[in-house]
Amino acid sequence: MNLIIDVGNSFVKLAVFQGETLKLKKRVELETVLDEIKELKQSFPSIKRAIVSSVGKLNHNDAEQIAKHFKVLALNSETNLPFTNLYQTPKTLGVDRIALVCAAVGQFPSRNVLIIDAGTCITYDFINSENQYLGGAISPGLRMRYEALNNLTANLPLLDTEQPKHIIGGSTQQSIHSGVVHGILNEIDGAVQAYRLKYPDLTVILTGGDTNFLSKQLKSSIFANPNFLLEGLNYILQFNSNE
């Protein structure tokens, strides 16, 4: 069994895989991650291997303790990957984007795949049917757009994310919701259409924290999978363990 440790700024996503099957996932606070991992070890004693994404955000003691319990792979730009990386600045490519591309390689081999991760930022990552990663795009996510309108203007309020009822906002609050949400939806649909002009057989994956909010509102045909990044990390661990 494999343990996936995806470290964010304040929270950590933990997942347990048996082969390719996700057995458990949970989100825990960074300060409690070691205790949570010890509990998982007791619940799943057959876990032998772990992969850590964004290892630099763990404190040194936690990283050492995890390494005592499992054979650990720390994901970085030097990790052996199952695709050809043609990104012009490979050392700046985020480990989350690497994991998403690996998930596409594992689940959609020899296909043109666009992965859209709708989180704090919206990232677009493209791998072609020749197993070459070409790059993509990065733009502000939902919350970042709401917060930018509030932070960078004098009078616009900070609103919670809400699906607009109409394209025409009849008030300032409705106008913000319409601008933010429809702006993102049109951006994603436009990006998918642009890719499909060049790659008509394109497979599109939507993942990330805003997957459920956005997926039903998009016009483009997509596969929605909020666990795609975790599955990609598991695939990287399996790929490196099988060599």
- Say whether both 13 and 69 belong to one domain: yes
Q: What is the pLDDT of residues 147-183, one digit of tens each?
A: 999 999 999 999 999 999 999 999 999 999 999 999 9
| 23 and 64 inside one domain | yes
Sign of CA dihedral 60, 3, 54, 25: negative
238 belongs to a structural domain: no
Give the chain's end-to-end CA distance (angstroms, integer). Answer: 17
Do 30 and 124 lie in one domain? The reply is no
- Please state the rounded mean pLDDT for residues 174-195: 97
Asked if residue 241 is part of any domain, the answer here is no
* pLDDT beyond 90 at 219: no
Q: Which residue has the higher pLDDT, 64 or 144?
A: 144
Three-state secondary structure along 101-142?
A: HHHHHHHCCCCCEEEEEECCEEEEEEECCCCEEEEEEEEECH
Give yes or no: residues 218 and 100 share one domain.
yes
In a domain, 225, yes or no: yes
End position of a domain, from candidates 11, 43, 74: 74
The sheet carrying 49-53 orders its strands as 21-29, 11-18, 2-7, 49-53, 71-74
Residues 82-129 have pLDDT tens digits of 999 999 999 999 999 999 999 999 999 999 999 999 999 999 999 999
Q: Are residues 50 and 133 in the same domain?
A: no
Domain boundary among 51, 74, 97: 74
Same domain, 42 and 131: no
Quote the tokens at residue 90.
């490979």
Q: Is 125 a catalytic residue?
A: no
Q: Per the domain annotation, does 28 fall within a domain?
A: yes
* Boundaries of domain holding 59: 2-74
Residue 243 lies inside a defined structural domain of this protein: no
User: What CA–CA distance (Å, rounded) separates 22 from 79?
Assistant: 23
CATH number at residue 47: 3.30.420.40
Residue 7 CA to chain centroid, in angstroms? 12
6-65 confidence digits (pLDDT tens): 998 778 999 999 999 999 999 999 889 999 999 999 999 999 999 999 866 888 888 888
Report if residue 239 sits inside a domain: no
Residues 63 and 163 in one domain: no
How many domains is the chain partitioned into structurally? 2
Answer yes or no: is pLDDT of 242 > 80: no
Same domain (yes/no): 104, 57: no
State the Cα–Cα distance between residues 94 and 144, nearest whole angstrom: 19
Domain co-membership, 44 together with 112: no
Are residues 139 and 61 part of one domain? no
Together in a domain, 46 and 106: no
Is residue 235's pLDDT more than 70? yes
Rounded distance, CA 202 to CA 208, Å? 20
Can you give the pTM of this predicted structure? 0.93
6, 52, 2: which is closest to 27 by C-alpha?
Answer: 6
Q: Is there a single domain that holds both residue 138 and residue 195? A: yes
The pLDDT assigned to 55 comes to: 62
Could you say which of 34, 49, 74 is where a domain stops? 74
- Asked if residue 128 is part of any domain, the answer here is yes
The residue annotated as part of the active site, out of 6, 35, 62, 96, is 96
